[in-house]
Structure 1
Amino acid sequence: MFSSNNLKAWKETFIPTPASKATLDEGVLPADLWFEIAIIVEPRDLLAMKLVCKALHEMFADRELWKYVLHDVCHRHSIFLPSYPIDDMSLTELQRAALGPYRWARLLKRKANPSIRTESTRLLKPLKENNHPLGVAPNSLQFLVPGGRFLFIAQRHSLDLWDLGVVGRQPLEASTLIARVHTAPPSRASALGLDGLAVIPLDDTTLRVAVALTGKNSLFNVYDICPIEQGIKFQSVGSIAVHTEVEEKPVCKNLLIHGNRLHVSLTKLDISFIWDFSTGRYTTGRPRMSNFNSDISQKVFTGTSVIEFGKDSLLAWAIPFSDADTASSTDGFAYLDADFPRVTGEKHEVLYPTWRAIAIAMTTVHIPSLWHHGPVLPITFDIIRETWAHEPSDDGATGFRYRVDVKPDPSDPLNSHKMGVAFKLLAKFELPAGFCYTPLMDATPNAGLGARHASAPIMRMAQPCRVVEDVSSEVLYSLYSVTSHRAIPEVRLTPILKSADGVRVVSPSLCSASGRLVHTVYMNGVPAFTRVSDYLSPWKD
């Protein structure tokens, strides 16, 4: 989040405190070099180095240095910088915030379990819980901004941004609604359904948000918002309505934004619609020609290419965006059924390495959220494959962790239509038998869940689908991580939530940098409140 250029500029404006300046003047290293050392080592190691001698204790107990360290932690872990009021934080607060990702990882390691039994499951208990009536309606969507402070809630008629309070400080008596925008005219809101919410960091202090509404036409709105500026409000970046005759209410999946471009999969034909809202031009991908009843593939959008993750292989294709390859929207409308424009380049299919197709198996692809500021690729993702045994209690599930990178074909790098795909199997692991597994696609990433990180997303664990008749059956939500230091990889599960007895958990969103979990609690089918749970000890001087 905090770019290297900004780090350099911030460092150049740093004025050492008298104590640190005296220490540095007596030593052999200049202040800026100590700052570079401070961000090379882990924050926990800085605290250990304080114990070496008096000079290091004074150096690494300097508040200005820890402000610099926390900026770097936010950058490396894709944390939204305004989540922390850095200039107003004490030394202890800065240190605890910088240690957040490490403290969360250590907590999971201590509480994780390689095996889970439904009847004797112990949940990870939060240190603090607060229930907030945020006005959540059925079918609303949420996004907890990494850092844990800001929460987006989208409904079919509005988009809200809430301030839940700084993690680690005294919780707010009531969350603060800091901005609201109406996403559709009141006369049309009742005829539209909410089908997507996507959030990315635009820069260090600004968020870009896309909302998808579907009805007779599909409506896409894009906004920018800076939560720390005076007079906070959503700034409209663009809006477009997409018309099609293929379906009365088009299927809408894979709402993704990258820079100034939006991608969405529309209709059962799985047509990729790509719109550049800075120029008003758009293009579409080719429709799939068979298997209309199967699920629409999960996709990744890089701004210039699309990657589709199928059951046994992935497809990668480039998006040419010249005037000849695109069309201009007319009065904010685009027509999906038109023959032009349409991407005509080949889709490059690549089979998953060490993969054997199985006819009777349920396969779920888990693509981590691409919330981060920087290159999308390479991507680390998981595939969960479930197989049925003779007895449901013995149903098995195997996980495959891959890393994929897509680049121009080295044999013809100037041809944007030709692509090279590099694949690697990182781990194969077994999940405990007797559950039906669903990785949560829409869960907010933990702070380490960027393009180059493997981490602990949330897994929905239910009784095997073929034996579940009661929708109120118990469902577990567990964090899962894969060990990498063993010859045989092992999955570690940490149960964190449970739905049962008429109480249902919806839209769990987690930030591991701060140890904050947010989810909506439904009682008897009705949303009752939003629960905010904090798992790391608070900051205290």
Structure 2
Amino acid sequence: MPVRTRAQRQRDRPILPHEVWCNAFEHMEPSEVLFLEQVSRTLRSLVSEKSVWKAILRSVCSKYGLFGPSFPVEEMSVKELQRAALGPELFKALVTRHSWPADELHEAQILVPTSDLTPFRKRGFKMGSRSVKLMWVRHLVPGGRFLFQVTQAPTKAAQDSSFTVQLWDLGVPGSPPLRKPGLMAEIKNGKPVNLNVTAVTAMVDPGNDVSLRVATYLSGYGTGCMIKIHAVSPSDPIFKRLAELHITNVIHNLHVSNPIVSGDVMLIRVNNIVVLWNFICHSYAAIPIAPIPTEKYSSDEDIVFTGDFVMVFRRGAQWGIHVWEVPALASFTRITGRSLSIVEAVTAVPDALLAIPFPEPKGRHYHAINVPQSGLQTLPLTFDVFSAPWQKRSHPVTWVGPTSRTITSCLRCTIGTQRVGTVTNSTRRSVDMLSVDTMASFKIQAPVTGASWTSPQFAPSLSDSSLSFAFLKSRIIEHKSGGDYRVSKQHNFAYSLDTFTPFPSGPSSSSTQNTAQPGNTANVSVTRFYEPDRRLQWSQRWSACVASGRMVDMACEGGDVHLLDYLY
């Protein structure tokens, strides 16, 4: 081995202390840290230390909201730690690699998972002479290792009024998922007969990052809703009851939304009331919002909770973003008991009403809004506006080529805070500084004669406030057979904006810019997601984890539960 000269040894000596380098690594992308191995022997040695990658993985967990105990860091090698830290980047690169130009959506490649397992087999029970299938609702904990599953019998077939919450271990991310997941804990809960479990949400305990909270949400027509919250830790797998609230109302339920959690506060929408429930202090605040037409139900609005603001995206006659500031926690009203009666009240005027630009003129066009659906959001918040020409067709028709496709015009917008150089009014509210800016325009062509439409519920946990992955659905089969016209089959696609020239930003850009301008169009890539072969199209909803590349059916009645893994 040749003797290294003094100059070579001096060149390899680190300029900065070890502690400074480690602190810098936590603010870099893991792939950038790996590139430093090629700079010098000293950095290669530093980057190979296990303590460095443990710190980087902790930083990745904090950035993406991952549950730390999903990764047994003390037992993992340096290579395994690097693989875990690179998870989000690897998944994004995988989706990008299988993308297709938006004007050739009909040729989009299918993103095939590495494995498609059915670890939870069919289960049910006998009721008289017939077999009754169980209903399941699930939530994959961010990190991809742990899964919450709620099991219940259908209301009409229930022998007892109860449901069971379970915590399962699917296996360490970065390795093949377990064919037989391990049941870690379960607890049986009672419920009113007329309520069914419709959603389950898991979140990390803000005061203890190795413990989880799971909220089970039940609703029923005319009986309000119920939320039960439990705490559990993988190191101490025993469910502990944390809080419970049964919200009733004096009229039938017209609209109930899934809960959104910010710290110790949960947002629940019941009828025309938004309830903010502090489940630790057991207090609440109510915001009466404007009603929507009863025949539309939830299709004409989306609710976003940022912690400081409640934003209601309205379509139709109430087009725009209605914003309310969240009251101070000290002003919340104490709840006595486990029940809260909600009475309809006079609509509270929004603290701000933000205009949403149209990609195309309003006349003879359908408009939709693609809003992040992964729960608590942060500002700036990105959303897309879809617009497609209105077409009246009595029957599906055969796709005959690119000229027959409907072009969907889209705008990418963002909600942010205006930059004010000098504050002239000390009482100016933060809600007054919100603005909507138009960033870019783009177009998507559906593979058949129908239009492309937003599909935010496809995999909500893949969505974030920047919409790095957004989802749409479009027809992939549309034809007639004999005298019977078959229903067109739809499929889910992920789309992302590659490069674009943003519109001039500023307070007035959203009000003056209502249509796309030449030269400001974005390049769009589309990836077609894999769907197992099954009969029920309504079950195309997944709980997903961007760090592990795993996806699990969110809900189904009977049937096999699919566990997909795209990365290991």
TM-score range, shorter chain: 0.7 to 0.9
**CA offset at residue 370 of structure 1?**
4.5
* 2:156 aligned residue: none
The corresponding residue for 2:459 is 443
Q: 1:364 matched to which residue of 2?
A: 368
Q: Secondary structure of the residue that 2:343 maps to in structure 1?
A: coil
Using the alignment, how far apart are the partners of 2:51 and 2:205 within structure 1?
26
CA displacement at 1:120 relative to structure 2: 5.7
1:148 aligns with 2:144: yes
Corresponding residue number in structure 2 for 1:283: 285
Specify the structure having the higher radius of gyration (Cα): 2
The answer for the alignment partner of 1:271 in structure 2 is: 273
1:66 to 53, 56, 62: 53
Change in CA separation of 1:454 and 1:251 when aligned onto 2, cut-off 3 Å: closer
2:550 corresponding residue in structure 1: 516
Q: Deviations over 1:377-402 (max 9, x none)?
A: 22222233332358874333223222
Aligned match of 1:497: 530
CA distance in 2, matches of 1:272, 1:502: 36
- Does the 8 A contact of 2:194 with 2:223 survive in 1? no
Q: Helix, strand or coil: the match of 1:423?
A: strand
**Aligned with 2:224 (options 211, 218, 225):** 218
Q: Name stretches of at least 5 consecutive residues in structure 1 with no aligned partner.
A: 1-21
CA offset digits 1:210-262 (Å, max 9, x no partner): 222123533332424343322x1333232111222321x55311421222222
Change (3 A) 1:330 1:474: same
1-structure distance, mates of 2:349, 2:471: 36
> Corresponding residue for 1:507?
541
Post-superposition shift, 1:345? 5.1
Partner in structure 1 of residue 261 of structure 2: 257
Task: Please say if residues 509 and 518 of structure 1, whose CA atoms lie closer than 8 Å, have aligned partners that are also in contact.
Answer: yes
Cα pair 2:137 2:555 within 8 Å, conserved: no
Aligned to 1:9: none
Which amino acid is the alignment partner of residue 423 of structure 1? Answer: V
* 8 A Cα contact 2:386 2:410, kept in partner: yes
Deviations 1:170-198 (A, max 9, x none): 4323012223233434xx3x421223333
- Is 1:334 matched up with 2:340? yes
1:495 shift after superposition: 1.0
Match of 2:354 in 1: 350
Equivalent in the alignment of 1:404:
415
What are the superposed Cα offsets for residues 284-308 of structure 1, whole Å, 9 maximum, x if unpaired? 2225256333343211123443111
Q: 1:426 aligns with which of 425, 431, 439?
A: 439
1:489, distance to aligned residue in structure 2 (A): 0.8
Does the CA-based 8 Å contact 2:211-2:231 persist in structure 1? yes
Matches within 5 A, 1:380-419: 380-389=382-391, 393-405=404-416, 414=427, 419=432
Instruction: Note if contact 2:108-2:528 (Cα within 8 Å) is conserved in structure 1.
Output: yes
- Mapping of residues 289-300 of structure 1, within 5 Å: 289=291, 291-296=293-298, 297-300=301-304
1:315 aligns with 2:329: no
- Structure 1 residue 322: deviation in Å? 6.7
Q: Which structure 2 residues correspond to residues 38-187 of structure 1 after superposition, within 5 A?
A: 38-115=25-102, 122-133=109-120, 140-155=136-151, 157-185=163-191
Question: Gaps spanning 5+ residues in structure 2: where?
Answer: 1-8, 124-132, 153-162, 398-403, 502-519
The reply on whether 1:474 has 2:489 as its aligned counterpart is yes
Q: How far off its partner does 1:404 sit?
A: 0.9
For residue 561 of structure 2, give the secondary structure of its aligned residue in structure 1.
strand
In structure 2, distance between residues paired with 1:349 and 1:94: 46
Between the aligned residues of both structures, percent identity stands at 22
The count of corresponding residues between Structure 1 and Structure 2 is 498
Aligned to 1:10: none
- Alpha-carbon shift at residue 313 of structure 1 (Å): 1.0
Q: Secondary structure at the match of 2:433?
A: strand
Does the 8 A contact of 2:215 with 2:227 survive in 1? yes
Range that drifts further, 236-245 or 436-445: 436-445
Query: Per-residue deviation at 1:115?
Result: 4.1
Is the CA contact (8 Å cut-off) linking 1:142 and 1:507 kept in structure 2?
A: no
